[in-house]
A and B are shown apart, each in its own frame.
Chain A
């Protein structure tokens, strides 16, 4: 059948392929590529309430952005948010998976308990945790009163608000990452464990010498997802703090939202979106290129 590949057949095949791709490609062009390019272009203009029409100003937006203390604050917040959430939720996820994979009791219970936060919308998570953190009525405040401590207001203080958000995010995400480790554990050849147990190797050694190295591809994948999520998940801020107090909990995407739809500074919002896209492309390229091949064990 393949021997008689004529020009006609090839043309028909190409035509069919492109026709099949057309619907997806159309929506991708309209809502991914075109907006990205348009935003990059708009980021070169001053487009706020001070000017009736956008005025070209070259790289001024970027120059301002990188010297703007608020942007610096927001960006470093985002980095700290990532540092706070990513390693801890990944370690927890790994432990959860180890447990949920082979637990002698409570397998289903633990899977459900660890994973259910993933089924709860971020906005509902924010409501739930607001009701834990809120002063006076909140769960923590009431516990504090119980043991005779003064009132507790974690979200009201610049020093504690980020920590409170990080704990919440770990609660939300660890179970999601767990399932990738669960899948990763299935790929480890069973006879490795069998021979280890025949040789009387302890559980700790089995974990550090077999399980951790052989789940490295999962760790890399989860790491990239966790890092990008640290930049993508911001819905909770709308409910909990609006980025405050004093921008202490503000994150990049929420700041973009604020800049565009509260301060109507389109040029700056565009420049920040470009920074955001750059960050995400760099983070995901870690996975798609470079590292991936070196870590794979096959």
Chain B
């Protein structure tokens, strides 16, 4: 909106300048044609990008359509608006999705809780303390961002086996307890805290840990929330690692449960159930995203911090 106004105004100013200075190089008609061309280009640009948006939505609409359609409604009766919950009911009864939900919540919550603790401490050390070997340790932490646990599934499986923690929720969580990404994110924020605040608190007799807990943490709350959004979505979506670690319903997260459920059918008649199950799995995060669109997008923007 603002930009087009500016452009128009700029044109108008230019036009009147031309007229008054008597140059008259751009006639009235030429100018109007130019503006028309500009407007047409803008229209095409909007139409094209909105079309991309619609195309982007098609896969999801297709899944929703299948999940809520009665099976006997037939593919060709697109015009009737029959819908049903029966596929969801059958999915909920047919596989232990309630248990999977609980498992995913436990894993995501457990990982986040430990991460918040470990990264707060480490971020403070990097942001505010000068200590021997800081640069080397900092580089070492970078390694986790370059080589994340995702690609170390084979290696970590062996470590977990040594600990005898295969097929446990703790086993799924352990590799994510330290988050270099979170540490760097929070370090950036801690670094921006005014030094005077800290010095004043120290004069008052507050210890470093007290300052961290009473000043740094509360003031960084938005960053913590951003990190939480990214971390929880990550655990919610994680698949390959829990797949190889787990071997029982008690420990399987939603993604693995969904994959098992989808594979248990031969191709063909069960698409409605698979679609319903897929929606069950993605619903919480998607609803969260739709409700807090701006917050979610900002959070993921932070995941690009170097």
- Could you list which residues of chain A lie within 8 angstroms of chain B, going by C-beta atoms? 1, 13-14, 16-18, 20-21, 23-28, 30-36, 38-39, 42, 92, 95-96, 99, 102-106, 108-124, 127-129, 131-132, 134, 136-137, 139, 142, 171, 175-176, 179-180, 182-183, 193-194, 197-198, 200, 202-203, 221-222, 225, 231-232, 234-235, 238-239, 253, 256-257, 260-261, 269-270, 273, 276-277, 280-281, 284-285, 287-288
What is the 8 Å Cβ interface bit string for chain B, positions 277-299, against chain A (1 contact, 0 not)?
Answer: 11001100110011001001100
Residues of B within 8 A of A288 (CB): 142, 146, 306
- 9 example contacts (A-B, Cβ-Cβ < 8 A) are as follows A13-B130, A16-B208, A18-B131, A31-B177, A36-B152, A116-B56, A128-B62, A139-B59, A257-B244
Q: How extensive is the interface on chain B, given as a class? A: 35 or more
Question: CB of B154 within 8 A of chain A?
Answer: yes
* Interface-located stretch among B41-49, B81-89, B91-99, B213-221: B41-49
B140 touches A28 (CB 8 A): yes
Q: List the B residue with the shortest CB-CB distance to A28.
A: B178
Residue among A128, A221, A225 making CB contact with B278, cutoff 8 Å: A128
Residue of B60, B146, B179, B293 with most partner-chain A CB within 10 A: B146
| B binding-site residues for A, Cβ under 8 Å | 1, 3-4, 6-7, 10-11, 14, 38, 41-42, 45-46, 49-50, 52-54, 56-60, 62-63, 66, 75, 117-119, 121-122, 124-125, 129-132, 134, 137, 140-159, 174-175, 177-180, 183, 199, 202, 208, 233, 236-237, 239-240, 243-244, 254-255, 258-259, 262-263, 267-268, 271, 274-275, 277-278, 281-282, 285-286, 289-290, 293, 296-297, 300-301, 304, 306
Separation of A180 and B305 alpha carbons in the complex (Å): 10
Which of B58, B134, B143 has the largest count of A CB atoms less than 10 A from its CB? B143
A-side interface mostly: helix
Of the residues B54, B63, B174, B301, contact of A179 by C-beta under 8 Å: B301
Q: Which of A24, A182, A269 counts the most B-chain CB atoms under 10 A from its CB?
A: A24
Bound complex: CA A261 to CA B155 (Å): 12
Q: Is the interface of B mostly helix, strand, loop or mixed?
A: helix
- Distance of A196 Cα from B130 Cα, bound (Å): 46
If the complex has contacts A104-B1, A121-B282, A256-B154, are A25 and B178 also in contact, measured as CB distance less than 8 A? yes
**Do A103 and B49 form a contact, CB below 8 Å, given A23-B121, A114-B56, A132-B59?**
yes
Give A43 Cβ to nearest chain B Cβ, in Å.
10
Known: A105-B46, A121-B255. A231 touches B151 (CB 8 A): yes
Pick the contact of B149: A31, A114, A273 (CB < 8 A).
Answer: A31
- Choose from B117, B159, B258 the contact partner of A23 (Cβ within 8 Å): B117
Q: Please measure, in the bound complex, the distance between the C-alpha atom of A233 and the C-alpha atom of B220, giving whole angstroms.
A: 32
Knowing A96-B49, A120-B282, A197-B7, the reply to whether A273 touches B154 (Cβ < 8 A) is: yes
- Tell me the nearest residue of chain A to B302, going by C-beta: A183
B177 partner residues in chain A, CB cutoff 8 A: 23, 27, 31
- A171→B54 CA distance, assembly (Å): 12
Q: How far is the CB of B251 from chain A (nearest CB, A)?
A: 17
Contact A35 B155 (CB under 8 A): yes
Instruction: List the 8 closest A-B pairs by CB distance, nearest first.
Output: A35-B155, A17-B131, A27-B178, A113-B53, A121-B237, A31-B175, A20-B125, A284-B146
Taking a contact as CB atoms closer than 8 A, the residue among A31, A96, A180, A239 that contacts B304 in the complex is A180
Given A25-B137, A31-B175, A134-B267, A38 and B155 contact (CB-CB distance below 8 Å)? yes
B271 touches A137 (CB 8 A): yes
The distance from the CB of A263 to the nearest CB of chain B, in whole angstroms, is: 12
Q: A21-B121, A121-B236, A176-B300 are in contact. Are A200 and B14 (CB under 8 A)?
A: yes
- The CA of A104 and the CA of B45, in the complex, are separated in Å by 11
| Inter-chain contact B178/A23, CB cutoff 8 Å | yes
- Give the residue name and chain of the B residue nearest to A37 (CB): B155
What is the minimal beta-carbon distance from A107 to any residue of chain B, in angstroms?
Answer: 10
Q: Are A122 and B237 in contact (CB under 8 A)?
A: yes
Is the Cβ of A128 less than 8 Å from the Cβ of B63? yes
Is B62's CB under 8 angstroms from A232's CB? no
* A127 touches which of B117, B143, B278, B304 (Cβ 8 Å): B278
B240 touches A269 (CB 8 A): no
Smallest Cβ-Cβ distance to B262: which chain A residue: A127
Does the CB pair A109–B53 fall under 8 Å? yes
Known contacts A32-B152, A110-B53, A232-B151; is-contact A27 B59 (Cβ 8 Å)? no
